[in-house]
Amino acid sequence: MLTVLAAVFPLINDGYWLSIATTAMMYVALSTSWSLFSGPTHLIALSTGAFFGVGGYLVGAGMSDYDQSFWTMTLIAPLVATALALLIGLATLRLSGVYFVIFTLGLAEMIRNLVSWVQNNFLGSRGLYVLTDFTEAHIYWMLLATSVVVFIAGWWINRSRLGFALRIIGDDEEVARHVGINTAWSKVILFMTTGFFAALVGAIVAPRYSYIEPNVVFSPQLSFLVVIMALLGGVHRLWGPLVGVIPFTLAWEIISASFPYSTTLFLGLSFLLIVYFIPNGFTGLFAQLIRRART
């Protein structure tokens, strides 16, 4: 029912609110796919911006430099990001805590600087044009379809042996090893899944920018926004990030328009308030209130 209501939204509003809804739908897909990995493992991955950027930039490069269609590059980009996630996962998912956080944050910056260096020194241009006939409504519907697929994938994973294994890993990785779970491969597989969806979203959103630069698509700010929205809603329920995305998208729009030089401060304060006051997000807070009401 909610999907049907979301699908008809562009038919009743094609202006400012559709733009906001498209941005929110982008973050729904990104935050939900992020929580598939970070929710059960408790590993804070700040690599969303890297995979998102890979998706967007490959679409731009394929269309601008190699005369490929948007659809062809949208199929290729997530596969490339998945392979990249595999390599990164094999190399780093033995890390934990702050070391993993630092590495994943540095990943997006490393890729952004590498792409900028290649563009400036070998290609002679800094950006790429992504020109299509898509309207805001088309991009919104593609993001909605992606979000639905992410929810279906999350539902399946939560009920699979992989989901069960990841919950054990999140509770105690040492215990998981002792009961025969291949903890490294379990985390790598789910890390690849989140990389795939982040790149797919980046590819779909690329036409919205029209002109892509590394600083735009490989944005560390996007990684932080995804984490904050997911934590605000709660990562212990599949629909939790959805609860966080909608209010935070509206708040972010107001802050960005009214206080454009204070967005970083707002992000930092938001993260601190969430961690200290609602560590389990809105869904955890609602569950706690329900338990108290019953007792």
pLDDT tens, position by position, 43-89: 888 899 999 999 999 999 899 878 899 999 999 999 999 999 998 88
Residue 29 CB-density burial (10 A; 0-12 exposed, 13-18 middle, 19+ buried) = buried
pLDDT value, residue 237: 86
Model confidence band, residue 186 (pLDDT cutoffs 50, 70, 90): confident
pLDDT tens, position by position, 6-51: 999 998 887 889 999 999 999 999 999 999 988 888 888 889 999 9
**Which residue segments constitute the domains of the chain, with CATH numbers given?**
2-294 (1.10.3470)
Contact 212, 56 (CB under 8 A): yes
pLDDT tens, position by position, 123-160: 666 678 898 999 999 999 999 999 999 999 999 998 88
Tell me the sheet residues that pair with 129. Answer: 211
E-only strand ranges, the chain: 128-129, 211-212
Tokens representing residue 247 in the block: 């209010």
pLDDT tens, position by position, 206-253: 999 988 888 888 888 999 999 999 999 998 888 899 999 999 999 999
Q: Give the residue with greater pLDDT, 148 vs 293.
A: 148
CA-CA distances (angstroms) from residue 35 to 32, 129, 209, 267, 268? 5, 32, 26, 19, 20
Contact 255, 263 (CB under 8 A): yes
Range 24-27, long-range pairs (CB < 8 A, 24+ positions): 24/245, 24/246, 24/249, 25/140, 25/143, 25/144, 25/147, 26/143, 26/201, 26/205, 27/225, 27/226, 27/229, 27/245, 27/248, 27/249
pLDDT value, residue 56: 94
Model confidence band, residue 176 (pLDDT cutoffs 50, 70, 90): confident
CA-CA distances (angstroms) from residue 93 to 100, 105, 188, 230, 287? 7, 14, 7, 21, 31
Contact 266, 280 (CB under 8 A): no
Output the furthest CA–CA distance in the chain (Å, rounded): 68
Tell me the sheet residues that pair with 158. Answer: none
